[in-house]
Structure 1
Amino acid sequence: MMVRYERPYSHAAHWARLCARIGFVIFVLSLAAHRFGPLTTPHFLALAGFAVTFALVAVLLAAIGLTRLWRVAAIGGTASVSALFYAALPLGFFFYGAAQYLTRPAIYDVSTDTATPPPWIKAPVVEESWIKRRPIVTPEDREAQIAAYPGLTGRRYDGALDRVFQGVRKVVEATRVGITAELGVENARADLEDLAVGPSEGADTSRGPEAIPVPATRPAPDIDVGIPGRQASDIVLQGEWLTLIVGFRFDVLIRLREEAETTLVDLRVSSRYGQHDLGMGASFAEEFLRALDAELLGIAGD
């Protein structure tokens, strides 16, 4: 008489797939709402934490299901493998963020000018949330930035202010920075107007000498020169930048300053939430400056 072996059913594998699917759906929907919708970063991180919790439980149950499959050939191998695939996305997000958190300094504001950072035109408004941080950037934060990102420095270009300003405008558009405020833009416009020459005409000796207009005093730009890190001749642009996939929000400030026939460009990037920007602020600043170097190729100084 032939005895037929009935394979046991792994309930752990079944629940693993269910938990992984729940975590996957929570993560994807919250990610989409954060990137393209009204969901704020604190709420997104809270929902992502729930998704990661479901994913971790799913991995544990999937491991039990695969162990049962190996030992007693229990049904549920497909469900366990499926659970691992669903859990990969939220867990990948979590472990990448954890690695950045442990390897990058706990700062949220970086600047190419650490001695006198460019001041904001309008101070970024940070809403109260469960993500706390120090309201003021301390000298220790700047020292941590210098130690972690020694190559993050300003750029000096052997070009006029208006020429460099045009390049900055192009890079701002290419890097998806939305400008929200600007100061001193008339300084670049004034340089362009100085180059404009009226149409030449033949000299007429029969006419008497014409009155030469006396140039009026150029109106002073609307810049408060009493603020450290700002001069009347500066051009300052402030905007907002969102990371491409997740949509984390950063405030960006660009300062252009003409010095001895060269133009100095400094950048400041600040995360909107939290004490730790996971290195994304410095990464964006380096990307922006590399793009500006490429745009102004040939006039970059030391």
Structure 2
Amino acid sequence: MTVRFVRPFSVAAYLSRYLGLAALALFLVAAGIHRFGPLTTPDLVGLLMIAAGIALVAMLLALVGLERLWTTGARGGLSALAALLLSALPLGVVGYGAFLYWQQPKIYDISTDLADAPEWLVPPVANQQWLTRPAAVSKEDRDAQAMAYASLAGRRYEGAIDRIYTAAKKMAAAQSIRITHTKGVIGTVEPPSVGVPEQDKSQPTEEAPVEDLPSIVPVPMARPVEAPQPTFFNGSGVVLMQGETRTRIWGLRFDILIRLKEEAETTIVDVRVASRYGPHDLGMGAAIAEAYLDALDAEMQGLNDN
């Protein structure tokens, strides 16, 4: 009589695959709606933690399925392997975020000038929901920043404030910083209109026969518009530009304040960056400030070389 071996069925392995797929789907949908839709950052963090929890359960069930495959030859090995792959992204991202949370200082506001941080023109306000944080930045926060980001400092450039202002505004646009408020700049001159100047226009006259018109008629030329618009300053020697930006992948919102202070024949540039939500910026605030200052260094170096 032939004995036929019937492989057992691992429910844990098959269930882990569906849970891993659900975790990945929740992760991708939440990230997409936050980046391109109305989902707020506190809601995103909550959904990512739920997705990571589901992925963790899927991984544990997958390990149980693999153990059953090893000991009893139970079916479901491919499902367990698929569950591990599907759970890798949610668990990896949330795990890396937790690593940064414990490694970086628990601060949400950084400044290149710790002694005299630039004051917000319009204090950022956002509904923190469950990501509560202190209302004001304390001295302990500034001390923690000094220990963690000792190399983060402002810049001093040779030149008048109007020259540095032009470069600073240009680099803000290059770094996807949208300037919303400005202080210290009086205004700009409207660009010249294209066409015939008003004083050069002649008054309309009565129509004359076509045969009386000259054969050669001068054509008015438009005035050049390549010249930059002049900017006027209020004489205080300080210009403040407040704006906002979003990280490239996740779309996390940050508020930025750029301060230009004229001293003698030099101009000092300081930057303040604060995360819009939460008590921790995971080190991204310092990275944003450093990236902007490095870009400004390159721009000023190019201007000096020219």
Q: Verify same fold: TM over 0.5.
A: yes
The reply to whether residue 123 of structure 1 matches residue 123 of structure 2 is yes
Question: Which residue does 2:102 correspond to in 1?
Answer: 102
> One-letter code of the match for 1:81?
L
> One-letter code of the match for 2:84?
L
In structure 1, C-alpha distance between the alignment counterparts of 2:295 and 2:138, rounded to whole Å: 29
**SS at the partner of 2:301?**
coil
Question: Which residue does 1:289 correspond to in 2?
Answer: 293
Residue 155 of structure 1 deviates from its aligned partner by 0.5
Question: Which residue does 2:194 correspond to in 1?
Answer: none
CA deviations 1:107-143 (Å, max 9, x no partner) are 1000000101011110101214111110010011101
In structure 2, C-alpha distance between the alignment counterparts of 1:79 and 1:185, rounded to whole Å: 64
Structure 1: which 5+ residue stretches go unaligned? 191-218, 222-230
CA deviations 1:25-81 (Å, max 9, x no partner) are 111111111111000011111111110110000010010111111112211111111
> One-letter code of the match for 2:86?
Y
Q: Flag the structure with larger Rg.
A: 2
> One-letter code of the match for 1:294?
A
**SS at the partner of 2:269?**
strand
> One-letter code of the match for 2:67?
T
**SS at the partner of 1:297?**
helix
> One-letter code of the match for 1:132?
T
Contact 1:233 1:257 (8 Å CA) reproduced: yes
Contact 1:158 1:299 (8 Å CA) reproduced: no
The reply to whether residue 60 of structure 1 matches residue 60 of structure 2 is yes
Residue 2 of structure 1 deviates from its aligned partner by 3.0
Question: Which residue does 1:152 correspond to in 2?
Answer: 152
In structure 1, C-alpha distance between the alignment counterparts of 2:282 and 2:233, rounded to whole Å: 41
Deviates more, 1:104-113 or 1:70-79: 70-79
In structure 2, C-alpha distance between the alignment counterparts of 1:282 and 1:121, rounded to whole Å: 20
Contact 1:235 1:256 (8 Å CA) reproduced: yes
Contact 2:184 2:233 (8 Å CA) reproduced: no
Residue 292 of structure 1 deviates from its aligned partner by 1.1
Contact 1:243 1:249 (8 Å CA) reproduced: yes
Contact 1:62 1:83 (8 Å CA) reproduced: yes
Question: Which residue does 1:74 correspond to in 2?
Answer: 74
Question: Which residue does 1:246 correspond to in 2?
Answer: 250
> One-letter code of the match for 2:177?
V
In structure 2, C-alpha distance between the alignment counterparts of 1:128 and 1:61, rounded to whole Å: 35
Question: Which residue does 1:210 correspond to in 2?
Answer: none
CA deviations 1:136-161 (Å, max 9, x no partner) are 10011101100100011000111222
Question: Which residue does 1:173 correspond to in 2?
Answer: 173
Question: Which residue does 2:268 correspond to in 1?
Answer: 264
> One-letter code of the match for 1:272?
R
> One-letter code of the match for 2:141?
D
Q: Cα RMSD (Å) of the superposition? A: 2.0
CA deviations 1:81-107 (Å, max 9, x no partner) are 111111111111111111111111111
> One-letter code of the match for 1:248?
L
Contact 1:157 1:299 (8 Å CA) reproduced: no
Question: Which residue does 1:196 correspond to in 2?
Answer: none
Contact 2:105 2:148 (8 Å CA) reproduced: yes
In structure 2, C-alpha distance between the alignment counterparts of 1:166 and 1:5, rounded to whole Å: 80
In structure 2, C-alpha distance between the alignment counterparts of 1:97 and 1:155, rounded to whole Å: 31
> Superposed, which structure 2 residues align to 1:1-302 within 5 Å?
1-186=1-186, 221=234, 232-297=236-301
**SS at the partner of 1:296?**
helix
**SS at the partner of 2:90?**
helix
Question: Which residue does 1:207 correspond to in 2?
Answer: none
Count of equivalent residues: 263
In structure 2, C-alpha distance between the alignment counterparts of 1:10 and 1:220, rounded to whole Å: 74
Contact 2:186 2:233 (8 Å CA) reproduced: no
**SS at the partner of 1:8?**
coil
Normalising by structure 2, we get a TM-score of: 0.82
In structure 1, C-alpha distance between the alignment counterparts of 2:81 and 2:163, rounded to whole Å: 57
In structure 1, C-alpha distance between the alignment counterparts of 2:184 and 2:303, rounded to whole Å: 23
Residue 232 of structure 1 deviates from its aligned partner by 2.5
Normalising by structure 1, we get a TM-score of: 0.83
